[in-house]
């Protein structure tokens, strides 16, 4: 039996949504939770103090990029990611599988592992289930992900089944190495990844196999890879039916309100995505009335805040006119303020979601939020 790291606090009376607490080595995490992506051990345009001020309890870092530069040995020498970056709360590190998948012309997948060329200098490298565990142990990740084979939307069943077979074998090997590292004193947890693309029988097969290995939590992969939102929501809802109630569930790569609300509805507890900060760098701000593109000329003389209902320091201190000016002049401050606002918005939305679940009104909250957000009545 795996260690218990997750407590369900309250289950919604009108669906699968629930609140919980994830107990990790660098503090508890309240769920449902959105996790900002800090690819290179930093969330772009924000300091660790900004993230602490907003109230985040966990962020992501990327194994592929950190392995290539500055290297896992240097990070280990610095005291892991926490010592290296100064972020004292939790880190989740992905396995690098998605990045390797996206570099289709630079990699080759076999039963042994993945052989790939660096996107930095073309040098050749190998990821195996074992050394990816080792790298993340060097990072001292609080949550580490297994190496998996990610697949895109629209592939045939044969290709999806082969990717699932390899992913399953890699998971068994990753678990063996992780258990060795745990016996040596490593305290982070390993998450398996449910795959199967958009084939129901493969999804169920993967979920049941993952359950049989009894790891502390579960991740759901192979979604948000180009499919229509309706197919994402349907396959996610189907997949979660076969996953245990008592374990935290993590769906990778979603970070917009509609996708997050769909996932919470299906009983998912953890999410991450680069979009909130990437969109911020392109001048797009979240508001409860939809996405606001600050580059529009109609904001030249608009001295109101981005979102009148937002209590973040950006909305309290800066006008749309000034923020448009910063963006048009390509000032670094534009990226900083927009990123802060978007992450504050999502973190506040997660607080509202948790409160709505605890008060048994999540489905109404979901309907009301999306009706207003999609109307895009930004004044």
Q: How much is the average pLDDT of 318-344?
A: 98
Q: Quote the pTM value.
A: 0.96
All residues at 6 or more sequence positions from 356 whose CB lies less than 8 Å from its CB, including other chains: 362, 364, 365
Task: Supply the pLDDT for residue 158.
Answer: 97
Check: CB of residue 114 under 8 Å from CB of residue 64.
Answer: no
Within a 13 Å sphere around the CA of 85, how many CA atoms are in the beta-carbon half? 28
Establish whether 269 is a catalytic residue.
no
> Nearest-CA neighbor of 277 among 37, 35, 34, 32?
37
| 179: pLDDT strictly greater than 90 | yes
Task: Supply the pLDDT for residue 3.
Answer: 80
Average pLDDT value for the chain: 96
| 329: pLDDT strictly greater than 80 | yes
| 135: pLDDT strictly greater than 60 | yes
Provide the b/e sequence for 210-224 (b: ≥16 CB within 10 Å).
bbebebbbbbbbbbb
| 16-30, 66-80, 105-119, 172-186: least confidently modelled range | 105-119
| 2: pLDDT strictly greater than 70 | no
Task: Supply the pLDDT for residue 14.
Answer: 80
Token couple for 378 = 């930004």
Query: Where does the pLDDT of residue 97 fall: very low under 50, low under 70, confident under 90, or very high at 90 and above?
Result: confident
All residues at 6 or more sequence positions from 97 whose CB lies less than 8 Å from its CB, including other chains: 114, 127, 145, 147, 148, 149, 150, 193, 221
Check: CB of residue 194 under 8 Å from CB of residue 239.
Answer: yes
- φ, ψ dihedrals at 374, nearest 5°: -75, -20
Query: Where does the pLDDT of residue 379 fall: very low under 50, low under 70, confident under 90, or very high at 90 and above?
Result: low
Q: With H, G, I as helix, E, B as strand and everything else as coil, classify residue 288.
A: coil
Residue with tokens 């926490």: 82
Q: How far apart are alpha carbons 70 and 47 in whole angstroms?
A: 19
Q: How much is the average pLDDT of 318-341?
A: 98
Which helix (H) or strand (E) segment is 290 a member of?
Answer: strand 290-293
Write the burial class of residue 186 (CB in 10 Å: 0-12 exposed, 13-18 middle, 19+ buried).
Answer: buried
Q: Which of 142, 262, 269, 272 is catalytic?
A: 272
Tens-digit pLDDT profile for residues 38-62: 999 999 999 999 999 999 999 999 9
Q: How far apart are alpha carbons 320 and 139 in whole angstroms?
A: 40
| 11: pLDDT strictly greater than 60 | yes
| 100: pLDDT strictly greater than 90 | no
Check: CB of residue 281 under 8 Å from CB of residue 335.
Answer: yes
Establish whether 142 is a catalytic residue.
no
Task: Supply the pLDDT for residue 306.
Answer: 98
**Residue 262: Cβ within 10 Å count:** 22
Task: Supply the pLDDT for residue 98.
Answer: 77
All residues at 6 or more sequence positions from 138 whose CB lies less than 8 Å from its CB, including other chains: 72, 73, 75, 76, 80
Q: Which of 50, 94, 142, 148 is catalytic?
A: 94
Q: How much is the average pLDDT of 82-87?
A: 98
**What is the arrangement of strands in the sheet containing 124-127, beginning at the earlier edge strand?**
107-109, 114-117, 124-127
Residue with tokens 């769909």: 262
Q: With H, G, I as helix, E, B as strand and everything else as coil, classify residue 16.
A: coil
**Terminal C-alpha separation, the chain:** 54
**Residue 2: Cβ within 10 Å count:** 12
Q: How far apart are alpha carbons 226 and 229 in whole angstroms?
A: 9
Check: CB of residue 167 under 8 Å from CB of residue 193.
Answer: yes
**Which residues, listed in sequence order, are joined to residue 124 by a DSSP beta bridge?**
117
Check: CB of residue 11 under 8 Å from CB of residue 18.
Answer: yes
């Amino acid at each position: 039996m795996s260690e218990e790291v997750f407590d369900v606090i309250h289950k919604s009376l009108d669906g699968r949504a629930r609140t919980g607490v994830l107990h990790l080595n660098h503090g508890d995490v309240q769920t449902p939770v959105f996790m900002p992506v800090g690819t290179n051990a930093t969330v772009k345009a924000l300091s660790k103090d900004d993230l602490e001020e907003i109230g985040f309890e966990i962020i992501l870092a990327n194994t592929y990029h950190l392995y290539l530069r500055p290297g896992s040995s240097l990070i280990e020498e610095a005291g892991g990611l926490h010592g290296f970056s100064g972020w004292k709360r939790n880190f989740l590190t992905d396995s690098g599988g998605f990045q390797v998948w996206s570099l289709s012309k630079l990699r080759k997948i076999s039963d042994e592992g993945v052989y790939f060329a660096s996107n930095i200098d073309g040098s050749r490298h190998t990821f195996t289930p074992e050394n990816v565990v080792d790298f993340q142990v060097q990072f001292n990740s609080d949550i580490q992900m297994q190496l998996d084979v990610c697949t895109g939307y629209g592939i045939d069943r044969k290709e999806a089944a082969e990717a699932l077979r390899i992913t399953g074998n890699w998971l068994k090997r990753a678990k063996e190495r992780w258990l060795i590292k745990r016996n040596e004193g490593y305290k982070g947890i390993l998450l398996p990844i449910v795959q199967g693309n958009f084939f129901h029988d493969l999804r169920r097969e993967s979920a049941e196999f993952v359950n049989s290995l009894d790891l502390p939590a579960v991740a759901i992969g192979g979604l948000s890879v180009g499919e229509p939102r309706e197919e994402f929501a349907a396959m996610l809802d189907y997949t979660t039916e076969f996953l245990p109630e008592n374990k935290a569930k993590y769906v990778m790569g979603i970070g917009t309100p509609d996708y997050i609300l769909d996932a919470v509805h299906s009983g998912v507890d953890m999410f991450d995505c680069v979009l909130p900060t990437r969109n911020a760098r392109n001048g797009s701000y979240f508001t409860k009335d939809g996405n606001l593109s600050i580059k529009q000329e109609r904001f030249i003389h608009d001295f109101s805040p981005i979102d009148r209902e937002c209590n973040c320091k950006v909305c309290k201190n800066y006008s749309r006119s000034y923020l448009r000016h910063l963006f048009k002049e390509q000032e670094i401050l534009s990226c900083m303020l927009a990123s802060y606002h978007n992450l504050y918005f999502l973190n506040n939305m997660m607080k509202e979601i948790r409160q709505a679940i605890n008060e048994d009104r999540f489905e109404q909250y979901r309907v009301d939020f999306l009706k207003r957000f999609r109307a895009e009545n930004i004044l």
